[in-house]
Amino acid sequence: MDTWRQVFAINENKFPDDFLFGTATASYQVEGAWNTNGKGENIWDRYTHQYPDKILDKSNGDVACDSYNKLEEDVRLLKNMNVDFYRFSVSWSRILPKGFAYQVNADGIRYYNNLIDLLISNGITPMVTMFHWDTPQNLEYFGGFTNSLIVNWFEEYARILFDNFGDRVKFWITFNEPKQTCAEGYGIGTKAPGYKLFGIADYMCIHNVLKSHARVYHLYNNTYKETQQGKIGITNDAVWSEPKTQSVEDVEAAERGLLFTFGLYTDPIYHYNGDYPQVVKEFVSARSKLEGFSYSRLPKFTPEEITYIKGTYDFFGLNHYTTTLVNNVDPFPIGDPSQIKDARIRTSFSPSWPKTASSWFKVVPWGFTKVLKWIKNRYGDIDIYVTENGYSDHECLNDQERINYYKQYLSALLDAIYDHKVNVKGYAAWSFLDNFEWNDGYVNRFGLYHVNFSDPQRTRTPKASLYYFKNIIKNRKLIKL
Ligand code: GBH
């Protein structure tokens, strides 16, 4: 059967009655006000200012969508969309300018209090991400997520968030996509802080992210949950890994690829054995030995740590955009370590997959169904919230391609619910607004609302997709082609 064909019957079932619709953003991508009213510098401020060439249009998030100053308007637009929830992230250095808890910025507390109160008074549930890549610069001087002390620093920060906002926030996400923080920030070095020590520093980082997540899960569970009655989890992103051929080697490589790019971050939390996937431990250890290391580059958890991290979730947060083909490769020649060399895979795209504006991103709706099924098979019947999914184009208001993407991906999500009984409880469209798309600056757009970045007012205009998405929320089903 040719699963690569982009031919779809749109799933006409209704979204379950308790299914929640929302939309998402992240602090650095929308807030702006980078040095206003006491906010401290973070690694994305530093990175974009110091290396403008690393950003496609040499831009930065200094002003971005100016959401810091446009909070009333943003909530009005969200209300107009009829979303059940809004997923946003808190800027650590707006709350703690130095990163550490000894100095709390009252204006940061005020800003998020206003946002949360306005959302609630408009009937929109806040879903709050504690960390979406914007580490306080002060902490990066001391290794950021490669320093194991960050577990304490992150706990202190989280405690301040629970103390100040936990009476009204019932939905917490500790980290957004640790893979990007670790593999892109410290491994391949394409994202802030831009360090390149692939196969080493990225593993140091994930070890500490997982411990930080678990520490904060336990803090909430032991100290706040009983009174505040919320849920807490983490969001990871999966690129579905499809075998390039049906050979045994490629089928195994695709599964291994998924375990290296996703299971590495999720198994320690959701797998019934905890810890990193066995195949990842074996491959990194074997390769490390070949390279002359006397220990594995992948740090080891103690049995106590495995138990401490295992089960630290109330739900499964998933970001999903795309799929790659994966094939097996012979061992790479010895040289600098890298996670790709550890995994012994090569990834590619099928030329038949429709493109988007982003180089890493092709349209493959069935990959969404497969990844949802895979999560259920591996980790059991967990409530899944899709915390991001969306499409990138260049600037455009009549965005029919985005509409098509949402239709096909939401149909694939309904297939997972109806054909495979996967418990998907909610869905957030990425993104509410066109925003600072990291290395792609303002060139590639993901918003349901267009933002004019050359206008000092940062005027927001609904795109065709906004009306389409609103209709889905209203009808609770996909409109036929
Ligand atoms: C999400 O990450 C982010 O959470 C969100 O902030 C972002 O705006 C959104 O997606 C859209 O990008 O080295 O060129 O191959 C999505 C995850 C982003 C992971 C791109 C892989 C590869 C970039 N992916 N990244 S490249």
Ligand 1 atom closest to the Cα of residue 180 is 19
The set of protein residues with a Cβ atom below 6 angstroms from ligand 1 is 26, 29, 176-177, 180, 190, 237, 319, 321, 359-360, 388, 430, 437, 446
Rounded CA gap, 450 and 435, in Å?
Answer: 9
| Residue range(s) defining the domain that contains residue 53 | 20-475
Q: Is residue 162 part of a domain?
A: yes
Encoded tokens for 159: 């405690």
Which ligand 1 atom is at minimum distance from the Cα of 177?
Answer: 4
d(CA 167, CA 199): 41
| CB atoms inside a 10 Å sphere around CB 179 | 24
3-state helix, strand, coil in the chain (%, to 5): 45, 15, 40
> How close is the Cα of 388 to the center of ligand 1, in Å?
11
C-alpha closest to that of 343 among 238, 244, 260:
260
Confidence (pTM): 0.97
Please list the residues that pair with 238 across neighbouring strands.
320
> Which ligand 1 atom lies nearest to the CA of residue 190?
13
Cα of 392 vs centre of ligand 1, distance in Å, is 11
Residue 5 CA to residue 3 CA, distance in Å, equals 6
Residue 177 among the catalytic residues: yes
| Active-site residue, from 177, 242, 305, 437 | 177
What is the Cα–Cα distance from 43 to 34, expressed in whole angstroms? 11
Tell me which residue has its CA closest to atom 6 in ligand 1: 26
Is residue 5 included in any domain, yes or no?
A: no
The model's pLDDT over 17-43, given as tens digits with 9 standing for 90+, comes to 999 999 999 999 999 999 999 999 999
Average pLDDT along the chain: 97
Ligand 1 centre distance from Cα of residue 37 (Å): 30
How many structural domains is the chain composed of? 1
d(CA 341, CA 199): 9
197 within a domain of the structure (yes/no): yes
Q: Which of 25, 29, 177 is the pocket-test mutation for ligand 1 (most atoms within 8 Å of CB)? A: 177
CATH at residue 74: 3.20.20.80
- What confidence tens digit (pLDDT) does each residue in 385-428 have? 999 999 999 999 999 999 999 999 999 999 999 999 999 999 99
Question: Would you say how long the chain is, in residues?
Answer: 481
Give pLDDT < 50 ranges for the chain.
1-6, 481
The pLDDT of residue 7 is 52
Task: Please give the distance, rounded to the nearest whole angstrom, from the Cα atom of residue 289 to the centre of ligand 1.
Answer: 32
**Does residue 481 sit within a domain?**
no
Instruction: Report which residue type is found at 324.
Output: T
CA-nearest residue for atom 14, ligand 1, is 360
Distance 177 CA to ligand 1 centre (A): 9
Q: How far apart are CA 307 and CA 76, in angstroms?
A: 44
The per-residue pLDDT for range 145-155, each reduced to its tens digit, is 999 999 999 99
Q: Which of 78, 73, 70 is nearest to 31 (CA)?
A: 70
For residues 449 and 466, what is the distance between their CA atoms, to the nearest angstrom? 7
Which of 31, 140, 305, 388 is an active site residue? 388
Beta-bridge mates of residue 176: 235
Task: In whole angstroms, give the CA distance from residue 379 to residue 313.
Answer: 12
Rounded to a whole number of angstroms, the distance between the first and last alpha carbons of the chain is 24
- The reply to whether 442 falls in a domain is yes
Residue 319 within any structural domain of the chain? yes
pLDDT at 1: 33
Query: Does residue 8 sit within a domain?
Result: no
Domain annotation covers residue 10: no
Residue 388: enclosing H or E segment and its boundaries?
A: strand 384-388
Atom of ligand 1 nearest to the CA of 359: 14
**3-class SS string, 281-343:** HHHHHHHHHHCCCCCCCCCCCCHHHHHHHCCCCCCEEEEEEEEEEEEECCCCCCCCCCHHHHH
